[in-house]
Chain A
């Protein structure tokens, strides 16, 4: 076996573009020192990355960094979808950061550089073919966020949030690495498909206590990243302390990254008979706890944070059916989890965009009460925010959210996990209670004492409009998302 590797640079093009964006943003900031130019560079780079990922993904699957049949980098349909989505989310977050960056107090160059670095991690993540690439990609996605979360200068909550996030994240990474190392000890492999084959061929390995520990520790480490119960406690505090656009990034791109990583190890590497029941339990707990705690939240971002914990439960739910399902139903379950994640990030970005648009520049999310009657003053922005919230609740007229729930329930019943489908169903009802309270509050008659809001920044309004229009489109043509997720 030759150890010399040929490098397929076309497969790596999206990663080059993303990394190039980061470097270029830093250079432009250094050389031109004009915030507008830096932001424009980062935005152009994000668009180029998305386009590059789509273009490469349109062709056949490309593999590189191969040792024999095992490859560390596999750029196929799903990798392209994840890469393009992360790039577009980064673009959206950049648009939401407009008021924050203009308000001063936040270094523009560093912000763009860190965001682009994080985007690079997300772009590589979908293509990772071995555990080390996967964990490094997840870390590249997360690492810049420690700084971004704490970027609100002079804000103790922001620093506190960054600290919480940092500590929890480091522990999670250590756990995931430990899991990878133990799996290597058991099987002698790190490539995801090789692990899957080895564990399937030699079932006696599954009886080793070490294997059980390795699988548990790896899944737990990745579950931290999606903020699944019982590894969720960092999320609300971190989201609430972070600047709003960064919170939006955390709950969309970062969460998507965690989901993709989990999906990769569960689908290719780990035995479904072991992970299925564990994930079913985690999913059920995550959605129930997230929804119940969200009911009591009085702060906007905390409500969104707890709701996004609950949403992670819905994303993981289809994977809970793995143990019982046959091969077809398993493929359906992976596609359903990814499809739900796509619908979710779209609606979540729209929801955050709506909150950013309705809040003063450089402000945090504030209390829910501060948004009372906002839709009466800003009918379009208010309607878009209400639409996104209703979509997260999964009801018409926001069909995107409805179809997301339908996809999950369908895959669960196909996989023979009816009880989990009922849990999802009951949780949808609990969820409606707080989403409806939030949405109704936007239309409630306002108190006189509330100061009138300024016009939302154009970039924020643009991001909100694009996200809403996309949500409407995939609401009427959900097959688009289902096809992409299934490819």
Chain B
């Protein structure tokens, strides 16, 4: 086993064993420390995947479109065509690191504050299990294994929402978060069973589940590709989520505890967009070309509708949740163009949204913890009473509205550019509408800032302590720095993604 393979296994095994260890340690605080250490080790292993990656050139006359830096391929269940096939390349690595980072920040945050509802120990264990599922999805190079990890996330996340979410213990609040959790679980399972059917449509036709061999779709007939793409795209559209399948998202994000919202918005949604790029587009390119216009229209609809709904929101977390619909719309628009620029825009948009929305949810959580309300109308004048918090919120909101120089800019701008480059009146129209949606994004985020930071301090803000806790700063600083770093040097993400994206676009032709 080479070092790279060891690291691949470690990235999954460390959080899995960490979750078991957390469950086994009886003392609550010690268990949370153990979990945080496991999350930190996972991040180290994820970063180390980059350090000793192999070269990019030595391959046969017709190189496969997916050329992982490291890969590990073991038989598991031959009767179901399931192999334990892991690998990492430039498309998945940034997301792997983002996942490991956000989980570490969430575990660290849980050291300091555990939301009401259950023990911190169980919360940290569930966070680690969620991490295993997400990382496994990004690393899997076998369709069935991909599906398996896709499903792993479902129940732990449900438990986090129902167990620790919402505010208040009165019957109405309990019922609200239970309904949100149930909606999340059922919607997401609906997506993943379609994924299961789609996966086996491909496997039954091609006789293999190996993503490396399947990418390019050369083994599948056009008819199979269309069927597979429809099923897979629907599955990922629920997860991403793509309008009109998004309605689980606002409830789940609003009801989840802070750490749950951060993981949900930060990385869980990316499983959908990543799957769309790696599995749906990669395995069924003919289907993708056929469905691209539909996908593009839905993506632009998501941008516009998400933004318009945001303009009418009066609750902080709900507004941020709906803003995710719009932002993921840009990511999907990039994918729908099926060009190198578009897919690169989607990848960097994914990472940027993870960083910025993670930060926004942390801040929203901090505000709700302090004031016990998320109503924008009751939060006016935050700048006067808590200048640092309000400054950070302003920073995150401006990053989210895609100001050039911050992380959000590249994904949104280049998604529009890619649509323009695709040419033709159809894509130009979509580009114009998306750009208009971008302007709406700016409008609702600035409205949010005006409502929250300006004006006289409202009653709930009187007596608010202006300072920030050390744990909060520790959790937020990395995200602030990354938002700046990715904004100033997008090559951090695009550099590693360039080669694999070009290889992928090559087989799409």
> A residues near B, CB below 8 A?
390, 395-397, 399, 402-403, 405-407, 409-410, 413-414, 418, 421-422, 425-426, 428-429, 432-433, 436-437, 440, 443, 477-479, 482-483, 486
Contacts and interface: CB of A to CB of B under 8 A. Distances in A.
A406 B194 contact: no
B414 interface: no
Interface in B149-195: 151-152, 154-155, 158, 162-163, 178, 182, 185-186, 189-190, 193-194
A179 B86 CA distance: 53
14 contacts: A395-B189, A396-B133, A403-B77, A406-B80, A406-B196, A407-B80, A410-B200, A413-B200, A413-B203, A414-B200, A418-B227, A425-B193, A436-B158, A478-B79
Contacts of A396: 133, 148, 151-152, 154-155
Interface of B: 76-81, 129, 133, 144, 147-148, 151-152, 154-155, 158, 162-163, 178, 182, 185-186, 189-190, 193-194, 196-197, 200-201, 203-204, 227
Q: What 10 A-B pairs come out closest when comparing CB atoms?
A: A425-B193, A482-B79, A413-B200, A413-B204, A396-B152, A429-B190, A410-B200, A479-B77, A414-B204, A421-B197
Given A396-B148, A396-B151, A397-B155, A410 B80 contact: yes
Given A402-B151, A428-B189, 12 more contacts: A395-B154, A396-B148, A396-B152, A402-B148, A410-B81, A413-B201, A418-B227, A429-B186, A432-B186, A440-B178, A477-B77, A482-B80
Contacts of B194: 425
Contacts of A482: 77, 79-80
B167 to A, nearest CB: 16
Contacts of B154: 395-396
Contacts of B81: 410
Contacts of A397: 129, 152, 155
B204 A436 contact: no
B279 to A, nearest CB: 16
A429 B193 contact: yes
Contact of A429 (B147, B148, B189): B189
A429 B154 CA distance: 12
Contacts of A414: 200, 204
B144 A406 contact: yes
A405 B129 CA distance: 22
B151 A486 contact: no
A27 B341 CA distance: 82
Contact of A418 (B152, B185, B201): B201
A421 B194 CA distance: 9
A337 B81 CA distance: 18
B162 A409 contact: no
Given A396-B148, A479-B77, A405 B196 contact: yes
A433 B279 CA distance: 28
Nearest to A406: B80
Contact of A410 (B148, B204, B227): B204
Contacts of B193: 425-426, 428-429
Contact of B185 (A402, A436, A443): A436
Nearest to A339: B79
Interface centre among B144, B148, B190, B196 (most CB of A within 10 A): B196
Given A403-B80, A428-B189, A482-B79, A390 B196 contact: no
A399 B147 CA distance: 12
A399 to B, nearest CB: 8
Interface centre among B81, B144, B204 (most CB of A within 10 A): B204
Contact of A433 (B77, B80, B147, B182): B182
B63 to A, nearest CB: 30
Given A396-B155, A413-B197, A425-B193, A436 B182 contact: yes
B151 A433 contact: no
A440 B80 contact: no
B424 to A, nearest CB: 34
A422 B193 CA distance: 8
B394 to A, nearest CB: 39
A390 B155 contact: yes
Interface centre among B148, B158, B189, B227 (most CB of A within 10 A): B189
A428 B196 CA distance: 11
Contacts of A429: 186, 189-190, 193
A479 B196 contact: no
B80 A478 contact: yes
B196 A422 contact: no
A440 B177 CA distance: 12
B79 A483 contact: yes
B158 A409 contact: no
Given A425-B197, A429-B189, A479-B79, A410 B203 contact: yes
Interface centre among A397, A413, A478 (most CB of B within 10 A): A413
Contacts of B200: 406, 409-410, 413-414, 421
B488 to A, nearest CB: 40
A250 B430 CA distance: 60
B253 to A, nearest CB: 20
A174 B39 CA distance: 64
Contacts of B155: 390, 395-397
A173 B129 CA distance: 50
B196 A440 contact: no
Nearest to A410: B200
Contacts of A405: 196
Contacts of A406: 80, 144, 147, 196, 200
Nearest to B118: A443
Contacts of A436: 158, 182, 185
A433 B204 contact: no
A166 B230 CA distance: 49
A478 B77 contact: yes
A101 B76 CA distance: 43
Nearest to A332: B79
Given A402-B148, A403-B77, A478-B79, A433 B186 contact: yes
A409 B79 contact: no
Contacts of A422: 197
Nearest to B201: A413
Nearest to A428: B193
A116 to B, nearest CB: 34
Interface centre among B152, B178, B182, B200 (most CB of A within 10 A): B200
